[in-house]
């Protein structure tokens, strides 16, 4: 297991966490959001949090499934004015991203993915010669943009049209090369790619715990992750490739991911956690990843 510390940057910092919440700054806006892993006491008082925060996302526990770590039911309480959207930058990789306080508590970025962004950047440049990279469950596209900026031929797939549109905005903001956009069910697409014998040099997988495809297809991570990894291994170039799998959505151990990778021929697999440090000195674990490269 490898722990990777996500250092704060000019447009992001974790100020405090505890009692099931986190206090973060994104650009000039400070927000409070639920964080089920923050089981310790917060350092600052409730009054201090609300004094500096622009808003808080309040979960509706009567509607939320305790097993769904990807989506929240609830709404925002704003203490100060927050615009419909704003921009932040991650300068080391040339990223410029649009953020927005969505109705389900997300902002359009998962900051703990910074470590994975650097892995993607390094692998695309290692392989060279415009490698084909497939990003499944690709959300608002930060990883897709990183891969494109590094020189990859990127296919970005998500089942939700509006987040694919959002990803295209991030691509344009970051002035990245062209990306192929698909609104489709991930398993249906990857099954077709395997039947055609299509090969990719990179695959990025960030599956939710639960979800629906564009035609109502049901996704349940525990039931379908084995097939997902099996098909991914089938369409990876056997001589030169990288694979990345995120497992945070269900809190699964990285050892499970490594076993899945190795069971389907991705032998050079490792796993670790991305930790986000707060100004209070505590590290918040927000990502479990599994990686393999050849």
Residue 1 CB neighbours (<10 A): 11
Q: Which two tokens stand for residue 176?
A: 């990245």
Give the span between the Cα atoms of 132 and 141, in whole angstroms.
16
Residue 96 located in a structural domain: no
CB-count burial class (<10 Å; 0-12, 13-18, 19+) for 7: exposed
Q: What is the pLDDT of residues 70-89, one digit of tens each?
A: 455 789 999 999 999 999 99
Residue 69's CB is within 10 A of a number of other CB atoms, namely: 16
Output the domain CATH number for residue 166. Answer: 3.40.50.150
CB 24 within 8 Å of CB 12: yes
In total, how many domains does the chain have? 2
Q: Quote the pLDDT of residue 98.
A: 98
Mark whether 197 and 78 lie in a shared domain. Answer: no
**232/183 same-domain check:** yes
- How many angstroms separate the Cα of 160 from the Cα of each of 43, 86, 213, 251, 276? 38, 21, 8, 23, 28
Residue 229 φ then ψ, to 5°: -70, -40
Q: Are residues 67 and 33 in the same domain?
A: yes
Same domain, 115 and 86: no
pLDDT of 61 reads 66
pLDDT at 73: 73
Both 140 and 233 in a single domain? yes
- For residue 188, the model assigns a pLDDT of 95
For 192, the domain range is 111-293
Pairing of strands 210-212, 202-205: unpaired
> Could you tell me if residue 16 is left (phi over 0), alpha (psi between -120 and 50 degrees) or otherwise beta?
beta
Ranges under pLDDT 70 in the chain: 61-72
């Amino acid at each position: 297991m490898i722990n990777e510390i996500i250092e704060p940057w000019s447009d992001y910092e974790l100020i405090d966490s505890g009692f099931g919440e986190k206090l973060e700054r994104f650009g000039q806006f400070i927000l409070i959001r639920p964080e089920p892993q923050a089981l310790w006491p917060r350092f600052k008082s409730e009054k201090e949090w609300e004094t500096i925060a622009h808003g808080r996302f309040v979960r509706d526990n009567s509607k939320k499934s305790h097993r769904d770590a990807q989506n929240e039911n609830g709404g925002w309480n704003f203490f100060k004015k927050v615009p419909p959207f704003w921009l932040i930058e991650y300068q080391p990789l040339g990223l410029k991203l649009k953020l927005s306080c969505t109705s389900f508590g997300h902002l359009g970025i998962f900051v703990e993915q910074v470590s994975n962004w650097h892995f993607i950047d390094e692998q695309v440049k290692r392989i060279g010669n415009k490698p084909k990279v497939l990003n499944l469950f690709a959300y608002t596209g930060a990883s897709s943009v990183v891969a494109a900026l590094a020189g990859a031929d990127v296919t970005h797939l998500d089942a939700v049209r509006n987040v694919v549109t959002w990803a295209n905005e991030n691509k344009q903001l970051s002035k990245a090369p062209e990306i192929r956009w698909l609104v489709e069910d991930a398993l249906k697409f990857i099954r077709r790619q395997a039947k055609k014998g299509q090969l990719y040099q990179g695959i990025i997988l960030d599956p939710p715990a639960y979800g629906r495809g564009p035609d109502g297809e049901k996704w349940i991570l525990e039931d379908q992750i084995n097939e997902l990894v099996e098909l991914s291994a089938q369409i990876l170039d056997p001589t030169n490739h990288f694979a990345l799998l995120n497992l945070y959505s269900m809190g699964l151990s990285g050892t499970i991911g490594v076993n899945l990778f190795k069971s389907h021929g991705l032998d050079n697999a490792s796993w670790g956690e991305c930790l986000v440090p707060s100004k209070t000195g505590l590290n918040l674990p927000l990502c479990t990843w599994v990686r393999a490269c050849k």
